[in-house]
């Protein structure tokens, strides 16, 4: 059986042609990696994060949340966090609108709770100071955290403050990610 030289060249060209079509298709279809967009204006350099408003009984969160969000901005972005709103390009305002805590696990021997679920609802608004323009707003933002309670009264350790700290760090990561990435 003899081979035809033109058919061999045609077969060799097929993979190269397929790669070229694939490359053109991917570059022309608008494909991009998610989370790489910059939603905040380039003129923004400083952000003030005052204490959050609170309509709940958990007063510790009003100071914890701004502190953790400030740390997250400093650690992950080019923005400088300032304490005085008058010196900032933008002001991040927050409001804790609801706090809910309920037992999730019961110890059958003592009929006492051994696990607790905490849910916090927030409203977050980033406003350009000079114009008042809203750069970012998220209402009904909820974050959940679970923690365990020891049943032994002699070794009891109140885990609720540590859980609120974890919750605050989780809020900070989610808020900063939402502001920075075009999702």
Domains in the chain, please, with CATH? Answer: 35-180 (3.40.50.10610)
Average pLDDT over residues 130-153: 82
pLDDT category, 82, cuts 50, 70, 90? very high
What is the three-state SS of 112-150?
Answer: EEEEEEEEEEEEEEEEECCCCCEEEEEEEEEEEEEEECC
Residue 158's pLDDT is: 56
Distance CA 44, CA 48 (A): 11
**79, two tokens:** 């923005």
Residue 175 has pLDDT above 70, yes or no: yes
Mean pLDDT of the chain: 77
Distance CA 115, CA 107 (A): 9
Q: Are 88 and 125 in contact (CB under 8 A)?
A: no
Report yes or no on whether pTM surpasses 0.95.
Answer: no
Residue 14 has pLDDT above 70, yes or no: no
């Amino acid at each position: 059986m003899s081979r035809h030289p033109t058919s061999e060249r045609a077969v060799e060209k097929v993979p190269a042609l397929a790669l070229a079509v694939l490359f053109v298709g991917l570059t022309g279809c608008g494909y991009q990696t998610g989370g790489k967009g910059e939603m905040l204006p380039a003129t923004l350099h400083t952000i003030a994060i005052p204490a959050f408003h609170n309509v709940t009984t958990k007063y510790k969160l009003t100071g914890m949340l701004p502190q953790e969000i400030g740390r997250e901005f400093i650690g992950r972005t080019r923005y400088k966090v300032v304490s005085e709103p008058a010196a900032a390009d933008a002001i991040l305002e927050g409001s804790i609108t609801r706090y809910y805590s309920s037992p999730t696990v019961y110890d059958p021997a003592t009929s006492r709770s051994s696990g607790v679920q905490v849910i916090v609802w927030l409203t977050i608004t980033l406003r350009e100071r000079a114009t008042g323009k809203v750069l970012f707003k998220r209402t009904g933002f909820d974050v959940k955290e679970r923690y365990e309670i020891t049943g032994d009264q002699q070794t009891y350790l109140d885990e609720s403050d540590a859980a609120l700290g974890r919750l605050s760090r989780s809020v900070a990561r989610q808020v900063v990610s939402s502001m920075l990435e075009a999702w």
